[in-house]
Amino acid sequence: MTENEKTALILLGCPQVPVQTSMALYLVHGLKEHGIQPVIAGTTAARKLMEVADPDRYYLGEMTDLDDMIDEITGKQRDFDLCFVFIHNDSGVAYAGTMAYISKARVYALIFGEHAQDLAGEIEFPCEVVAAKAVHNPMPLKRRLDEVMQWAVSKR
Amino acid sequence: MGCLEAMKPEIILSQSSFKEAREYIKKNVREYHEVEPGYRIFDVHIIGVPPLYIGVEGEHLIFPYTKPCHGTFVVKVPGGEEIGRLRAGKK
């Protein structure tokens, strides 16, 4: 990574909702296309799903444990330009709120699942909300993400 | 620094939201201290949107423990040296 290369953190919580893994891979692809280096932090299961889906690491780069990453950011050892948090439950909202507080990154709350709109109403901290009712079919969330990705990369 | 799950915490509230956990501690624990998101206690972080509280009850700590798949739990464990650190307001 060059010194001036922009970075993005992708935070993956519980992978219970099917669209998370494919949308995360799609986001990694989109960021790399724009010259932004993505780093994934997630639960063990969320990371294993990513590793199995991309065995040759065509898309995936650095991946790390969720708590280890929070340690590094709160310890001021590292930070990112952008932070995308995948959210489909209250814990996801809590993690996004934590990132908005501890990181200097521009935070994007990617909200999906059956209760996406209700969860979007729970967001009471500074971030960009990208919400779509997507459970099995990623297309509603992909369309919303495509809309914001254009200006996310231009504002970085 | 101990491992929370190995300490077999007493579960006071299970699978709640972080806001419900906050309200529980505020209403039910006489001594509580506000901490920043990401505050590390034992081997876990306090996750959520401010204000976030950790309570002290005798020799025990009562705090919200957020698991990505199962929501937020309010747990009670022996506090040990963490009580002093909390009262001192150290990060």
What DSSP character marks residue A132?
A: -
Is A14 in contact with B47 (Cβ distance < 8 A)? no
> Hey, how many other C-beta atoms are within 10 angstroms of the C-beta on A23?
23
Please tell me whether the overall predicted TM-score, pTM, comes out greater than 0.90 for this model: yes
Distance in angstroms between the alpha carbons of the first and the last residue of chain B: 14
pLDDT of residue A3: 58
pLDDT of residue A99: 97
Disruptive mutation site among A20, A77, A98, A125 for chain B (greatest number of B CBs within 10 Å) = A98
* CATH assignment at residue A80: 3.40.50.10160
For chain B, the domains span 11-87
* Residue A1 maps to a domain: no
Regions of chain A where pLDDT drops below 70: 1-4, 151-156
pLDDT of residue B2: 65
- Tell me the per-residue pLDDT of A95-122, one tens digit each, with 9 for 90 and over: 999 999 999 999 999 999 999 999 999 9
* A117 part of contact set with chain B, CB < 8 Å: no
pLDDT of residue B91: 63
The Cα–Cα gap between B55 and A45 comes to 32
* Residue A49: C-alpha distances to residues A13, A43, A105 (Å): 12, 10, 26
pLDDT of residue A150: 77
pLDDT of residue A2: 57
Disruptive mutation site among B4, B15, B41, B49 for chain A (greatest number of A CBs within 10 Å) = B49
Domain region containing A103: 6-155
The Cα–Cα gap between A69 and B25 comes to 27
pLDDT of residue A1: 54
Contacts of B18 in chain A (CB under 8 A): 90-91, 93-94, 97
* Residue A65 maps to a domain: yes
Number of structural domains found in chain A: 1
**In chain B, pLDDT over 70 holds for what percent of residues?**
96
